[in-house]
Amino acid sequence: MDFNLSEEQLMLRDGVERYIRDDYGFEQRRHQATTGEGFNREHWQTFAELGWLALTLPEDVGGLDCSFVEASVVLESFGRGMVLEPFISSVMLCSRIVDRSGSEYHRQALLPALIEGRLLLALADSECDTRFTLGCIEETLARRTGDGYQLNGLKTMVFDAPSADKLLVTARLDDHPHPAIFVVDRTAPGVEVIEYALVDGTRAADVRFSKVNLPATALLIEPSQSQPILEEASDRAALAVVAQSLGVMHGVMDMTAEYIKTRSQFGQPIGKFQALQHRMAEMFVEAQHARSILYRGMAYLDKPAEERARAISAAKAATGKAGRFVCAQGVQLHGGIGMTEEYPVGHYFRFMTLLEKRFGDTDFHLARFAKGY
Amino acid sequence: MNFQFSPEDENFRQEVRQFFQDSVSPEVAHFGYVGAHPPPRDVLRQWQKTLHARGWGAPHWPQEFGGTDWSPIRKHIFLEEMLNANGLDYGWQGTHMMAPVVIAFGNEWQQQTFLPPLLSGEVFWCQGFSEPNAGSDLASLKTRAELDENGTHYVVNGQKIWTSDATIADWGFFLVRTDSTVKPQRGISFLLIDMKSPGITVRPIISIDGGHGLTEVFLENVRVPKEQLVGEPGMGWTYAKYLLEKERTSSAFIYFNKRELEKAKVIARAELIDGVPLLETPVFARKVAEIEADILALEWSVLRILTKEELRDNLDAVVSTLKVRGSELQQRVTELQVDAMGPRALRFFSHDARQKDACDEWDDLWPAHTLGRTNMYFFQRASTIYGGAREVQKNIIAKLAFGL
């Protein structure tokens, strides 16, 4: 075993950390979150130029064919920077679905453009009453027409939909229990995107499909193939969220340690109080073990589905709990200032609220893990 | 021992319940449910007028000032029923903090000037205690009030922070330093200040829930007639402690905790997992039950204090347990709501989006009972910070209960 990053991975880490520190300041992020699309296209273009959008994709579509380790290095820094750009949706989730779809047509049509930063994707799957279930087709139906399909239905909480060029839409087809997955232009006639902001400042939408006519080529994955592909991609994305959470925890701890060294009450820096020192120590314990379970999750990414799912669930559940604790204590140790919108630590708390639920909350993953007993 | 509410108290509960059923308007209920800080001023005014018209504008005041002769248990029942009906307990700083001090230590002019308009809902108050460098260590506050050369006015300079609702308040009660030559607690006075006075600037602080309730108040050469100093100069610290002792049980937030638990259950009944209500799944039911058991214990702790049990433990230490447990429950119960909501909890509603008009148009995807819950969860991070941070409360317990 060797848990050390290679020389190249270390260079990547230094590069991302420098970018987040120097070019992704909190004030700018705060402004960006409430403006326009809720993120900055120039950052996205830079990510593309630096190769970060290409990391995990294969070479034949322009990718760098790296392991998940490289992605986790980038994601950890993105967590620390609370990066708003739709990296998880486009790069970690949707590009994986497309890459594994078996559709050479869509791979070549979508992935090079995505890598170059010209195309954004979002997965439109969840429906009104589905919580964290994958492959939701109770309310979305595709019907075969003469030369293609017609799509009707309603998806909710579609992350990053408002800015996406194309949506990967799950829908019932031919009464199959599992979904067909279609590639649908976000601006196609009959697609209505009802946008809203999320707790971290990013955007999502309810998306209504009313008699949306699709060509035969719009079918990305047949119902018989879709479920394992969705689950694998979602598992990887869940682990990506674990890596982000780790960055959040370190961001919170650094900021909080700095604060309690300088904030004085009762005639001394409050960091001198043992109660607060122990709290910081407890946060450190959580973060260390979160890193360990992230690594363990990575070790299981290519194992058979059931083993993979349990390892990811263990990582997501443990980190959801750890991240919440660390962020809550970060706010607590800051006192009133931690409650303000002007100060970063409360944004970490809000971001962690989202991360805990993204791709399944702690309860969902504990239940999934326990199914293996 | 007698573990029952008396039949008279039960009748009283029915009477109060009926009153709130009849008198909580849709506007009041909206803000009572959603909890957007602060509600519009006219909603607050109307609500206080409604209470006042029934003679219940400030039940905990002595009767001669417009209060009631209710026992502590009846006051408890009143507040419980009010919050259950989504009534607003918003004028709290005025009715529960300023008024008891003015009643106990103020002179007749102060009582006649300041209490009636508060009771009738004409005037709202804010509290100016904390400062940027005086939070948990409140005694180190630096805002100065010095008599001018004529000896008729105090001239106040300094800065307050975390002042709730100063943007809608007409008056504020402030802790100010009138003597810097004595030990910190001895040099503090309790001063009533017209918020429209020249030299006062109020800056709203947007909090992480998107609310506008918190503010900073800057005081620059604010001239305050010396008649507006309550009681004796230098006794402000004692008065502040007195008002906290009058409100021993309020820090438990028992009514809030009970009501929010019921909301969590409503959400968890509506949310389905594989067709089964979330509340009926063993995992979630257990989470709800754990919190409910702690809330029930807290409720009876409140009742023990209210009925003046002769404790063998230190009273102040026991009161601090109400704050420690109550504030943690405020966080746990709102987290329970967020967890019940699942992905729906991630949508962020701005302050404007939580106003009544914006919420009247709603659809099946976004059940109305989920509105504002995530904001409330964020805001409750403050519950273990304000009013004596959890860490300070634990220090008090260690010292008073065990002599450590």
pLDDT computed for residue B366 by the predictor: 81
- Contact check, Cβ <8 Å, B208/A128: no
B206 touches chain A (CB under 8 A): yes
**Do both A245 and A217 map to the same domain?**
no
Lowest-confidence pick of A192-196, B32-36, B342-346, B392-396: B32-36
> Among residues B256, B174, B159, B163, which one has the least CA distance to residue B207?
B163
Cβ neighbours of residue A150 under 8 Å, at least 6 residues apart? A142, A143, A211, A212, A213, A214
- Contact check, Cβ <8 Å, B348/A199: yes
The rounded distance, in Å, linking the Cα atoms of B208 and B242 is 32
Q: What is the pLDDT of residues B150-169, one digit of tens each?
A: 999 999 999 999 999 899 99
Chain A contact residues (CB < 8 Å to B): 126, 128-129, 131-132, 154, 156-157, 196-199, 201, 204, 206, 264-266, 273, 275-276, 328, 331-332, 335-336, 338-342, 346-347, 349-350, 353-354, 357, 361, 363, 366-367
Cβ neighbours of residue B247 under 8 Å, at least 6 residues apart? B96, B97, B100
Domain that holds residue A140: 123-221
Q: Which fold has domain B125-241?
A: Butyryl-CoA Dehydrogenase, subunit A; domain 2 (2.40.110)
Q: Last residue of a domain, which of A161, A192, A221?
A: A221
Q: Taking residues B127-146, what's their average pLDDT?
A: 94
**What is the b/e burial string over B218-233, where b = at least 16 CB atoms within 10 angstroms of the residue's CB?**
bbeebebeeebbbbeb
**Do both A114 and A150 map to the same domain?**
no
DSSP A135: S
**Do both A242 and A361 map to the same domain?**
yes
Give residue B217's pLDDT band: very low, low, confident or very high (50, 70, 90): very high
Work out the minimum CA distance from A126 to partner chain B, whole angstroms.
9
B283 touches chain A (CB under 8 A): yes
Q: For the structural domain made of B247-402, what CATH number should be given?
A: 1.20.140.10
Give residue A49's pLDDT band: very low, low, confident or very high (50, 70, 90): very high
B129 touches chain A (CB under 8 A): no
Q: Is the pLDDT of residue B23 over 80?
A: yes
Q: Tell me, yes or no, whether A156 lies in a domain.
A: yes
**Looking at the partner chain, which of B271, B374, B382 has a beta carbon nearest the beta carbon of A339?**
B382
pLDDT computed for residue B360 by the predictor: 64
Nearest CA in chain B to A346: B208
Q: What percent of chain A has pLDDT over 90?
A: 99
Q: Last residue of a domain, which of A59, A88, A119?
A: A119
pLDDT computed for residue B140 by the predictor: 94
Question: To 5 degrees, how large is the angle CA B150–CA B156–CA B158?
Answer: 155
- Contact check, Cβ <8 Å, A346/B272: no
- Contact check, Cβ <8 Å, A132/B136: no
Give residue A329's pLDDT band: very low, low, confident or very high (50, 70, 90): very high
Please tell me the total count of domains within chain A.
3
pLDDT computed for residue A84 by the predictor: 98
Q: Is the pLDDT of residue B98 over 70?
A: yes
B400 touches chain A (CB under 8 A): no
Nearest CA in chain B to A362: B339
Nearest CA in chain A to B344: A157
Q: What is the pLDDT of residues A222-279, one digit of tens each?
A: 999 999 999 999 999 999 999 999 999 999 999 999 999 999 999 999 999 999 999 9
Q: Taking residues B111-135, what's their average pLDDT?
A: 95
Contact B338, A189 (CB under 8 A): no
Q: Angle of helix A362-370 relative to helix B282-306, nearest 10 degrees? A: 130
Q: What is the mean pLDDT of chain A?
A: 97
Q: Tell me, yes or no, whether A1 lies in a domain.
A: no
Q: Taking residues A76-104, what's their average pLDDT?
A: 98
Q: What is the mean pLDDT of chain B?
A: 94
**Do both A178 and A239 map to the same domain?**
no
**Do both A237 and A334 map to the same domain?**
yes
- CATH code of the domain containing A139: 2.40.110.10
pLDDT computed for residue B371 by the predictor: 87
Q: What CA dihedral angle connects A298, A300, A306 and A312, to 10 degrees? A: -30
pLDDT computed for residue B362 by the predictor: 58
**Looking at the partner chain, which of A129, A336, A357 has a beta carbon nearest the beta carbon of B272?**
A129
Q: Is the pLDDT of residue B364 over 70?
A: no
Partner A, chain B 87-116, Cβ-Cβ below 8 Å: none
Q: What is the pLDDT of residues A1-35, one digit of tens each?
A: 999 999 999 999 999 999 999 999 999 999 999 99
Q: What is the pLDDT of residues A52-73, one digit of tens each?
A: 999 999 999 999 999 999 999 9
Contact B6, B71 (CB under 8 A): no
> Among residues A190, A197, A205, which one has the least CA distance to residue A153?
A190
pLDDT computed for residue B332 by the predictor: 98
Q: What is the pLDDT of residues B69-87, one digit of tens each?
A: 999 999 999 999 999 999 9
Q: Is the pLDDT of residue B363 over 70?
A: no
Q: What is the pLDDT of residues B365-394, one digit of tens each?
A: 788 888 899 999 999 999 999 988 999 999
Q: Is the pLDDT of residue A104 over 70?
A: yes
String of DSSP letters for A292-327: HHHHHHHHTTTS-HHHHHHHHHHHHHHHHHHHHHHH
- Contact check, Cβ <8 Å, A131/B205: no
Which amino acid makes up residue B86? N
Within 8 A of A197 by CB-CB distance, chain B residues are 347-348, 350
Contact A20, A83 (CB under 8 A): yes
- CATH code of the domain containing A246: 1.20.140.10
Which residue spans of chain B are classified as CATH 1.20.140.10?
247-402
Nearest CA in chain A to B130: A336
- Contact check, Cβ <8 Å, A338/B381: yes
Contact A227, A178 (CB under 8 A): yes
Give residue B344's pLDDT band: very low, low, confident or very high (50, 70, 90): very high
- Contact check, Cβ <8 Å, B378/A128: no
